[in-house]
């Protein structure tokens, strides 16, 4: 018998048995932990919570074989959840899965302390047993782990390093500059001074990017059509507050050529300029 955890949160779609999650909400909504394995007893422990969370451990409450806890709102990081079934019996089984709330701007996942994967995992050793032994096994988009989903902690580090490598920061930006992908679902999107490369995918509908206010950054932004769909659905670069100019024109700028790439920077006074 194997202990199996299912993780749900109010406001999210249903969880998948024996699978970690990294789509948690930062609203402070209650998290439901379900024991979907047989057994006579069950016990729950939060082995790790994000540093700023002051609610989760104290609110962990058993409810039959299941449990709930309430995370602190607007806190980001990974919760490491342990379920023990039939403790002290020959049928005892332990499972650990993670529940993550991504950072709000860049979507980084901050791993939990001592979060584990199978130390035998590799590109060629990636079967069901390896997946089961990984505490973080939420689906991963792209990369060598896409078919195995057993390297969540590794994927989190890769995303951070790629972001640090991709940009050096602009005036007023500071910190990490990174790639961000925007679709119709995220539109309208307010461009951050810490953004640098912005991928736009208008295959699902038009997009509006609202530029930062004049005087807040000297960052050079690069906007790239990655879907080749601008000819069908365009992308509008909107002036913040409707003031100032773009390319010398007192109007928003519309990207409408498939695969178009636009580089745009501000003089930090009243104008945005297009760069070749």
**Domain coordinates of the chain in residue numbers?**
5-158, 167-275
Q: Got the DSSP string for 232-269?
A: TS-EEEEPGGG-SEETTBSS-EEE-STT-EEEEEE-SS
- For residues 20 and 136, the answer to whether their CB atoms sit within 8 Å is yes
Instruction: Evaluate whether the domain defined by 5-158 bears CATH number 2.60.40.10.
Output: yes
Burial of 133 (0-12, 13-18, 19+ CB in 10 A): middle
Closest C-alpha among 89, 91, 78, 93 to residue 35: 93
Contacts (Cβ under 8 Å, ≥6 apart) of 184: 202, 204, 205, 206, 207, 233
Closest by Cα among 239, 197, 247 to 222: 197
Long-range Cβ contacts of 158-164 (<8 Å, 24+ apart): 159/107, 159/108, 159/109, 160/108, 163/106, 163/108
- Cα 244 from Cα 251, distance rounded (Å): 8
Question: Fold identical between 5-158 and 167-275?
Answer: no
What fold, for 167-275?
Answer: Jelly Rolls (2.60.120)
* Element of type H or E holding 57: helix 56-59
Cβ neighbors of 33 (< 8 A, separation 6 or more) are 5, 6, 7, 44, 66, 67, 68, 69, 81, 83
What lies within 8 Å, CB to CB, of 165 at 6+ separation is none
Nearest-angstrom CA–CA distance, 145 and 152: 8
CB 63 within 8 A of CB 43: no
Helix (H, G, I), strand (E, B) or coil at 58: helix
Which residue's structure tokens are 């932990």?
A: 33
3-state helix, strand and coil shares in percent for the chain, rounded to the nearest 5: 10, 30, 55
Cβ-proximal residues to 133 (8 Å cutoff; 6+ apart), any chain:
116, 117, 118, 150
User: Tokens representing 52?
Assistant: 């700023």
Per-residue pLDDT of the chain (276 residues; tens, 9 = 90+): 689 999 999 999 999 999 999 889 999 999 999 999 988 899 999 999 999 999 999 999 998 899 999 999 999 999 999 999 999 999 999 999 999 998 876 778 899 999 888 777 777 777 777 777 788 887 765 555 555 466 667 777 777 776 666 544 333 344 445 578 899 988 899 988 878 889 999 999 999 999 987 766 767 889 999 989 999 999 999 988 888 888 889 899 999 999 999 999 887 667 888 886
Q: What's residue 29's pLDDT?
A: 96
Q: Compute the distance between CA of residue 240 and CA of residue 207 in angstroms, rounded to an integer.
A: 15
Distances (CA, A) of 71 to 7, 15, 50, 142, 182: 13, 17, 9, 29, 28
């Amino acid at each position: 018998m194997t202990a199996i955890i299912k993780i749900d949160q109010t406001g999210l779609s249903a969880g998948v048995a024996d699978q970690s999650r990294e789509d948690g909400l930062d609203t402070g909504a209650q998290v439901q932990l379900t024991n979907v394995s047989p057994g006579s007893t069950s016990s729950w422990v939060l082995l790790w919570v994000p540093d700023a969370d002051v609610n989760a451990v104290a609110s962990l409450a058993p409810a039959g074989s299941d449990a709930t806890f309430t995370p602190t709102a607007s806190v980001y990081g990974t919760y490491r959840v342990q379920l023990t079934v039939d403790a002290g019996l020959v049928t005892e089984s332990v499972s650990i899965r993670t529940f993550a709330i991504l950072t709000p701007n860049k979507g980084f996942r901050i791993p939990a302390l001592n979060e584990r994967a199978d130390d035998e995992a590799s590109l060629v050793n990636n079967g069901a047993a390896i997946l089961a032994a990984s505490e973080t096994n939420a689906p991963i988009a792209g990369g060598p782990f896409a078919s195995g989903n057993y390297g969540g902690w590794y994927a989190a580090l890769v995303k951070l390093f790629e972001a640090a490598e991709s940009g050096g920061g602009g005036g007023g930006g500071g910190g990490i500059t990174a790639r961000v992908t925007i679709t119709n679902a995220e539109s309208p999107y307010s461009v951050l001074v810490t953004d640098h490369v912005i991928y736009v995918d208008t295959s699902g509908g038009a997009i509006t990017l609202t530029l930062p206010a004049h005087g807040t950054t000297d960052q050079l932004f690069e906007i790239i059509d990655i879907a080749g769909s601008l000819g069908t659905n365009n992308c509008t670069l909107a002036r913040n507050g409707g003031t100032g100019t773009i390319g010398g024109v007192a109007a928003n700028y519309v990207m409408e050529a498939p695969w178009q790439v636009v580089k745009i920077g501000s003089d930090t006074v009243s104008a945005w300029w297009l760069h070749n």
